[in-house]
Structure 1
Amino acid sequence: MKLFLLTFLIALLLVRVAMGQQPTTDKAVEQEIRRLEQGQVDYLLQGDTLAIAKQWSPDYVVNNPFNQAVNASQGPVRQGNLTYSAFTRDVEKVLIHGQTAIAMGGETVVPSGKSANAGKTIKRRFTDVWMNTTGKWLLVARHASVICQGQ
């Protein structure tokens, strides 16, 4: 319960910060975020943890599908403990507020190797928060939740 409350408060703070900025309709920025999102998927499928981490803020936090809020640099992806044989991401919406971009949508993954649920197809929803710092878009926060069967 404490983890849920902490995650909720962090998400509320991020939304509040983003709401304080005027949204833009910059198509070039939206295309860049969509390109970066696909890059994350490609790096995960290739197992390229060094390349994927280059798109992360040093304090990038993930509320992962295992009900843990972790610093990504110490999480299962970075440690090589989470691999996929298939991964598709459908970015349904990109919101841009100044130097902050929020990408939302759905994912279908098939974990592989020693990963939990290896070989099973899992559907989930995600929200990624990107910030443009020093001229470079970096992931600062992510939330991914498994969609229950039948939904």
Structure 2
Amino acid sequence: MKNSLLFFVYMLTLKVAAQNTEQELIQHIHLLEQQEINAILEKDIKTLEEIWDPEFTVNNPYNMIVPDRQAVIDRIKDGVINYSVFTRDAEKTLVYDNMVITMGEEEIVPNSDNPAINRSMKRRYTNIWQNKNGRWVIVARHANQICSE
């Protein structure tokens, strides 16, 4: 009986430790996502190169697949990706062995002198993170604009 009780306490301790570790990972990923947003707003290419895997692929809201990190960075340098506001609400975070998937809603406001373009847009997004060489990087992303009614 005593051994059964000790085993139960041991298993409960392992489960709580695993939950704490998962919650810490989720918090870490959410912090990295906020760093990504800040880097996009500030056009901080160095930070984006740390967060985005070299083979980072994006299925973007304009029905295009952008094939790698450099192509996305080129879109920032060319002013295609240029926002005055960028917020994100991660509604669901899934944790797997060396992968984390975040899903939710984000809002952007393009930074433009054209009032027709310079309006708030809401999008649904999915980011896929992978642990590569001890670092979490985004390997793929999908975003689509929510149609206004």
TM-score range, shorter chain: 0.7 to 0.9
- Matched residue count: 126
Partners of 1:102 and 1:67 in 2: how far apart?
Answer: 21
Report SS of the residue matched to 1:140.
Answer: strand
Alpha-carbon shift at residue 68 of structure 1 (Å): 0.4
Report SS of the residue matched to 1:104.
Answer: strand
Tell me the equivalent position of 2:63. 67
Write out aligned runs for 1:36-75 (5 A): 36-71=32-67, 72-75=69-72
What is the identity, as a one-letter code, of the residue corresponding to 1:141? A
Alpha-carbon shift at residue 114 of structure 1 (Å): 7.5
Partners of 2:27 and 2:109 in 1: how far apart?
Answer: 26
Alpha-carbon shift at residue 79 of structure 1 (Å): 4.6
Report SS of the residue matched to 2:148.
Answer: coil
Tell me the equivalent position of 1:130. 129
Partners of 1:63 and 1:32 in 2: how far apart?
Answer: 24
Gap runs ≥5 in structure 1 = 1-23
Gap runs ≥5 in structure 2 = 1-17
Q: Whose strand proportion is higher, 1 or 2?
A: 1
Write out aligned runs for 1:55-134 (5 A): 55-71=51-67, 72-75=69-72, 76-77=75-76, 79-113=78-112, 118-134=117-133
Question: Can you list the C-alpha shifts for 1:41-68, whole angstroms capped at 9, x where unaligned?
Answer: 1111112122112111111100011110
Partners of 1:49 and 1:107 in 2: how far apart?
Answer: 21
Point out 4+ residue stretches in structure 1 off by more than 4 angstroms. none
TM-score normalised by the chain length of structure 2:
0.78
CA contact (8 A) 1:127 1:142 kept: yes
Report SS of the residue matched to 2:76.
Answer: coil
Q: Bigger shift: 120-129 or 76-85? A: 76-85
Q: Whose helix proportion is higher, 1 or 2?
A: 2
What is the identity, as a one-letter code, of the residue corresponding to 2:46? L
Larger Rg: 2
